[in-house]
A and B are shown apart, each in its own frame.
Chain A
C-alpha cells in the first residue's frame, strides 16, 4: 500500500468543502475531509465493500427503505410458487383415536442375526418411543433383549447416514434410480454376468422371494452371504449328524435335565428370549409345578446359562470335545470306546451321564454357535439317544433363506472380485470391510469392482470403500417381514416414515429389477396375497399386522435320525498342551459391531466383566498368574503373525489357557459414539478359526489401561447379600430358610389406605441379560454419560445388575442381583435431605422431587444400596439424542440434581388415573414397570402389596423372600426371592 501523500492536502479546498456542508458533519482526518485520492485508495484497500457502496450514492432514507423492504420480502423465500393443494388441518379438534398423553402400540418385529422376535412399539403423539415385547409372539412372549430395547435409540440416532453418496459426493435420488435401473437393464442384457449380491443372514420370506426373482431375471447372478457371527457350525453339525441341515427348536419347559455346552440359549441364540422364559419357569422352586430342573454347563468362558447352572464344569475347547465324546459313548450315542477314554473330571461327567440317562425324554443338550461342528453333531446324537426329539426339542427345516457356509461364500466372492469377475457388487447391509476374516484382502478386492453399491444404515467402513452408499432405512421405518426361530412370520410395519430418508433392500432390488417407483407395501401385500391362502385377505392382513404374528406360520417338525457313521469324519483330539487358545465371542451388546454406535449398548455393563465401553482379553486368574499379567495390563495378542493390543481382564470362571475376546469393538468408522472403542478382534479372526484360534501368544506391553467398569469389587464381603439354598434343603424344611426379621420400632409406621406398591425380584430367574437395565434407560430418559464419566463412577443407570462370585476363584459360583431403588419404608434418604426433595408418598414410594433438589447428595451417601444417581454435569443436555425421542411422561433432569428409580411412577400414576376415571381399583398386573416388562424370564413382579391376592404379595409371603441388608431395618419395598440351586447330590460341590 502506498503511503498517503500528506503534503498534497489543499487546505483551502477543505475549508470550501466544509463551508458547503449543512448540518453536523463528522470527519476523522484531514485526509478524509479532503477526499484525497490517496485516502480513498487506503479506504478502498481497507474496506473494499465500502467503495462499492459509496459509489451508489445511497442516502440514509434510501438505505432505510431498502432495509425495510429486505426485511419484508425476506420471508418470501419461504413461499412456493404453486399452492399446495393438500390441506393441513389444525389440531383444534382431536383426530379420532389420538389422545395426547395416551400411548398407542403397534406390533412389528426386531431382528438379531436375521431372526426376528415380535415387539410392540409404544407411540406417543405419533412418535415411537419405547420397545416392548409382543406377548403373542412365540419368540418373545413379552420379553425383550437389551439389543431390542436399544433399537429405538438406533432409530433416532442422528448419526445414521442421511445422504446418498456416489464416490463420496452427494448424489440425488434420481441419480440412484437411473443408475440402478440402467445397471439392471445392462445386466439383464448379459444375463446378470458379473452381478453379485452380498447379504447377511436373512429370514424375510418376501426379501428371499425378491432375490429369487432377481436370480430369475439375472441367471448369472451369484448370491453370497456373510454374517460375521454365523451359525455355520450348527448347520455343519446337523449335516454331520443327520446328513442334512436342520434347525433345532428347544422346549425348556419339558427339560428336567439340561446340559449346556457353552450354550447361548439364554443370551443370543435364535429364540433365546423364549428359551429364557421357558428355562426360568422350570427354575422357580416354589412355583415350578413340574419340579425344578437341574442344569449342567460345560464351558470355556462363562455364559448366562452357565451362571445359572447347578454344576458348571470349566473345560478348554479340546476338553469339551473329549467330554462330549465320553458322554456320547456312555449314552450309546457314539462308539462305546469313547466312554473308556481318559477325560478330565471323569467322576463329574459320570454322574452327569447317569443323570441324563435317568431322564430319557426329559433331558436336553444345547450347544452354542461357537462350538465346532463336531460338538453340535455329538449334541444331536446324544439328544437323539436320549429321546429328546419330539419331547424337549424338535427339528425343523432351516429357517434362514439360503443357509450356506458363510466363510466359503465370502471367500469365493473375494476371489472372484480379485479375479475381476465381478463388475457390479450389491451389498445389503453387510459391513464386510470391518467383519471380513483377517486373511481376506477385502479392501483390495473391492478396488477391482467397478460398481459397488452398499446399502447400509451408517457411513461405516464398507460405505467408505464402495462407490455408492445408499442410506438404509431402520427396520422400524419400512415394510418387510421376518421369521422367528421357529419360522413364525411377523409382518414388520413401519412405525414412522424414514427419519433420514433411508431406503429398504426391497426398494433397491425392485429398482434393479426395473421398477422405477418401488412400493414395498404393495410388494409385501401382493406376496402375502399369494401365499397366505386366506379366504379373506384383508382380515388376514389386519390380524397379522395387529397381532404381530402371521397365524400358523411356525414350521412343522421333521423327523431326523443320526447317521451311523457320523463320527467318522471327526478330527482327532489334540493332546493337551499349555498353548493359549483365543476364543472369539459375540458381544451381548454390540453383537458383531453393528450396534457400536448405540450409546445405551456401549454403556451397558457386560454381565460378567461389568465393563462398559470396552472389550478385553479375558483370562483366568491362574493363567494370569502364570503369565505374570495383572488386571488392566495392556497385552499384545499374536495369532498366526497377526497382532492386536488389548487390555487384560481377569475373569474368574474362565478356562485356563483360554483368552476370550469379544467381537464388535475397535470400529474405525462407526460414528462419533462407537469409533475406536475397544480392540478389534476381527483383526485376529480368520475364516478357518472363527471362534477359537490356537497358538496364541500373549505378551505384556508394559503399559496399563483404564477400564470403565461399573463394578469394582466382586467378592461378597460380610453379610449375605445374595442368599442361596439348595432345593433339597427347601423341600426338606422350607421354613428353615426364612430369616426372622425384627422390625420393632419406637415410631409408628406409615399408614396406607390405598395402594402400596412393591416389587419382588426372583434371583432364581434373573439370568443377567441386562434387558431391564436398557429398558429402564429407555423408559426413564436416562442419559448416556460416556466412558470417562463411567470410569469416574458416575454412571446414571437407575437399575443395575450386580454380579458376585463366591467360592473358589478358579471355578466360582456366579450370581446376578438386579438392584433398583428399594423404596424403603424407613428410607434413610428421606430424613437427611434438608430441603424435602425426597419424600414418602401415599403409596409408599420414596419420590424424588427434582425441582426441589439442591444437590447436597446426602441422600446418596445415606443410601446403603447406593441406587441414587447424581447429575454431576448436564448429562441430559449433552446427550446427542434428538429431543423428540425422549419419553414425554418422564421429566428430564437438570445438572446438579439427584435421581433414582421411581418404580416407573409415570406408569403407576397413569394406571391409577385410568382406574379413577372408571371408578375402580387398579387391577393386579395392570401396571408393569419397564424393567419388569422387558424381563424375558419374568424375574420381576410388581404390584400392590396391600392386596393379599396380588402376585407380588404372594411372592412376598414365600419363605424365600428376603430383603437386602435387612439388619439396617430400612424395610425395603423391593425384596428378593432367594436363589435355589438343585445340585446333583452325587457330585461333591467344592
Chain B
C-alpha cells in the first residue's frame, strides 16, 4: 500500500508501472493460468450451500403456497418485497458506475465497472425472482406480460406493479446485454491467450469472432455508448418505479411523492456499499492493488458518503411529512414504524445508514480496508432493514385500527433471503473464476491515455 499524505483522489487510476502487457497478463492469467485458489473453493462451497437453501425454500414455497411465510392480512407484503427492493438497489451500483461514468468520461470507472456490473447482473436476477416467488400463483406470472391470448385480456396498465414488471424486465435484459457487450473484446483476449483447446473454444464462442479491427472497434464504441446512454436513465427509472409501487398505493405512509427519489438514492447507496463489500476482499485476494487503486476506493467511499447524506435528508423528510400533513393515519403509521414491534428495524436502518457513514468523513477510515469493508457491509444490512421497515410498517398500521396487526417472519422467509444471497455470491464466484474481473481492454485505454499525457 502506498503511504502518502496526499488525498487519494490525486492518486493515479492505475499503477504507474503498468503497461499493456502487464495488465493483460495479470488479468488473463487470473483466469487462464493460475490454479484455482483455495479460498475460491471455500467461497464457492459456501455460496452454493446457501443457493441450495434457496432451492429448498422455493420448492417448499411452490408446494405449499405463500402461507409458509409470515405474510398475512393486513401485511400482505413481507420479506419477499423487501428483498426485491433491496436487491434491485444493490444492482444499481454497477449500472451507475459503468454507464453514467462512462458517459461523463470518468476514467477511474474502468478499473471497477466490470466488477460492479457483474454484481448488477446477479443482484438483478435475485431481485427478479422475488416478485415471482411472492405471487400467490407463481406459475401465472407471465399474465403480467401483454401478449395476445385467448382470454382477450390485457394487463392493467394503471397498476404500478405492471410498470415495475416492464421496468425490471427491461433493466435485467439490458443489463445482460450491456455487460456482455463490454466483455467481448476481453473474451477475444482470453481466446488468444488461452493455452487449452477447451478454453479457446469457450472464449472463442463468447468473443463472437472479435478480431479487433478498426471497424469492430468503431461499431463497438457506438453500441456501447448508445447502451450506456440507455442504461443511465434506466437505472433512475427502475428505482423510481419501485418507489411508485408504493407511492401510487394508498396505504398510510406509502401515499407520498417522495418515494421515487428516495428509492433511487437508497438504491445508489446500497449499490456503492455492496460494490465495496465485494471489491475490498477480491482486490486483496487477487492482488489487484495496482489495478484497482486507492483512488477507486476513495471515489466510491466519497460517493457513498454523499449518497448517505442525501438519504439522511430523505429520512428526515420521511419523518417530517406525516406531521406536516397532519394526517392521523400517517402519523400513526410513522410512529408505529418507530416504536412498533418492528421498531428495531427503523433504528437499525438509522444507525447503519445515517450514523455509520459519518465515519467516512475521516480519511483514515476510508483508507483502512477492514473498517471500510465492515462499514459498507453495515450499510448493505441497514438498507435491508430500511426496505423491510418501509414495506411492513405502513401495512401493519394502516387506516382501520381494528385491522392493525404485525408480521412475524418464518424460517421460509429467511430461506428465501439467505438463499438469494447464495445465488448472487455463487454467480459472482463463477464470474471471478472464468472471466476477467477487471476490463482488460479498458485498462489498456487508460494506459494509452496516460502515455499520451
- A: residues with CB less than 8 A from B are 711-719, 721, 789, 792-795, 800, 802-804, 817, 819, 828, 831-836, 852-858, 860-866, 868-874, 894-898, 964-965, 968
Contacts and interface: CB of A to CB of B under 8 A. Distances in A.
Contacts of B66: 855, 872, 896
Given A712-B404, A719-B329, A854-B143, A834 B162 contact: yes
B323 to A, nearest CB: 14
A968 B328 contact: no
A868 B73 CA distance: 8
Contact of A854 (B76, B135, B404): B135
A711 B249 contact: no
Contacts of A864: 250-252, 398-400
Nearest to A851: B151
A862 B399 contact: no
B400 A834 contact: no
A39 to B, nearest CB: 46
B154 interface: yes
A583 B49 CA distance: 58
Nearest to A964: B400
Interface string B134-167: 1111101101100000010111101111100100
Contacts of A897: 136-137
Given A717-B401, A896-B137, A836 B155 contact: yes
B156 A836 contact: yes
Nearest to A897: B136
Nearest to A970: B250
18 contacts: A793-B73, A793-B74, A804-B401, A819-B400, A828-B250, A832-B158, A832-B248, A834-B155, A835-B156, A852-B153, A855-B135, A858-B161, A861-B249, A862-B251, A864-B251, A895-B137, A896-B136, A897-B136
Given A792-B72, A834-B156, A836-B153, A872 B137 contact: no
A968 B250 contact: yes
Given A861-B76, A869-B73, A711 B159 contact: no
Contact of B137 (A711, A817, A854, A861): A854
Contacts of A852: 143, 151, 153
A833 B162 CA distance: 8
Contact of A793 (B72, B160, B252): B72
A870 B77 CA distance: 12
A68 B45 CA distance: 57
Of the candidates A819, A857, A874, the one having the most CB atoms from chain B within 10 angstroms of its own CB is A857
A341 to B, nearest CB: 43
A864 to B, nearest CB: 4
B403 interface: yes
Given A718-B331, A794-B67, A794-B72, 13 more contacts: A711-B402, A714-B401, A793-B72, A852-B151, A856-B136, A857-B136, A858-B159, A861-B251, A866-B74, A868-B73, A871-B136, A874-B65, A894-B137
A228 to B, nearest CB: 33
Contacts of B75: 793
B160 A832 contact: yes
B70 interface: yes
Contacts of A711: 402-403
B74 to A, nearest CB: 5
Interface in B65-85: 65-67, 70-77
Contacts of B136: 853-857, 870-872, 895-898
Given A718-B332, A854-B136, A832 B161 contact: yes
B395 interface: yes
B71 A857 contact: yes
Contacts of B64: 873
B67 A865 contact: no
B245 to A, nearest CB: 8
B347 interface: no
Chain B: interface secondary structure? loop
Contacts, number: 173
Contacts of B250: 828, 862-864, 968
Most buried by B among A718, A789, A804, A869: A718
Interface in B38-70: 64-67, 70
Nearest to B69: A872
A854 B73 contact: no
Contact of B402 (A713, A718, A833, A870): A713
A872 B65 contact: yes
Given A854-B137, A866-B73, A835 B144 contact: yes
B405 interface: yes
A545 to B, nearest CB: 44
A857 B76 contact: yes
Nearest to A828: B250
Given A794-B67, A861-B395, A802 B402 contact: yes
A712 B135 contact: no
A832 B159 contact: yes
Nearest to B157: A834
Contact of B134 (A716, A836, A856, A863): A856
A867 to B, nearest CB: 9
Centre residue among B72, B138, B248 by max chain A CB count within 10 A: B72
A870 B399 contact: no
Nearest to B136: A855
Nearest to B395: A861
B73 A794 contact: yes
In this complex, the member of A789, A831, A835, A868 whose beta carbon has the largest number of chain B beta carbons within 10 angstroms is: A835
Contacts of B143: 835, 852, 854
A835 B160 contact: no
B399 A834 contact: no
| 9 smallest beta-carbon distances between A and B, as pairs | A855-B136, A718-B328, A896-B136, A793-B72, A872-B67, A857-B76, A802-B402, A866-B403, A873-B67
B129 to A, nearest CB: 15
A964 B138 CA distance: 34
B211 to A, nearest CB: 46
Nearest to A832: B159
Nearest to B134: A856
B197 to A, nearest CB: 46
Given A800-B402, A873-B65, A834 B328 contact: no
A866 B161 contact: no
A854 B404 CA distance: 25
A860 B159 contact: no
B64 to A, nearest CB: 7
A861 B395 CA distance: 6
Nearest to A967: B327
A754 B162 CA distance: 32
Contacts of A817: 402
B249 A862 contact: yes
Nearest to A860: B76
Contacts of A834: 144, 155-156, 159, 161-162, 165
A804 B134 contact: no
Contacts of A861: 74, 76-77, 249, 251, 395
A716 B401 contact: yes
A855 B140 CA distance: 9
A667 B151 CA distance: 51
A804 B403 CA distance: 12
Contacts of A832: 158-161, 248-249
A721 B332 CA distance: 15
A427 to B, nearest CB: 43
A896 B135 contact: yes
Contact of A804 (B71, B73, B402, B406): B402
Contacts of A835: 143-144, 153, 155-156
Interface string B104-143: 0000000000000000000000000001001111101101
B73 A860 contact: yes
Contacts of B154: 836
A869 B403 CA distance: 12
A431 to B, nearest CB: 35
B401 A855 contact: no
Given A858-B249, A861-B76, A873-B64, A721 B400 contact: yes
Nearest to A839: B156
B74 A860 contact: yes
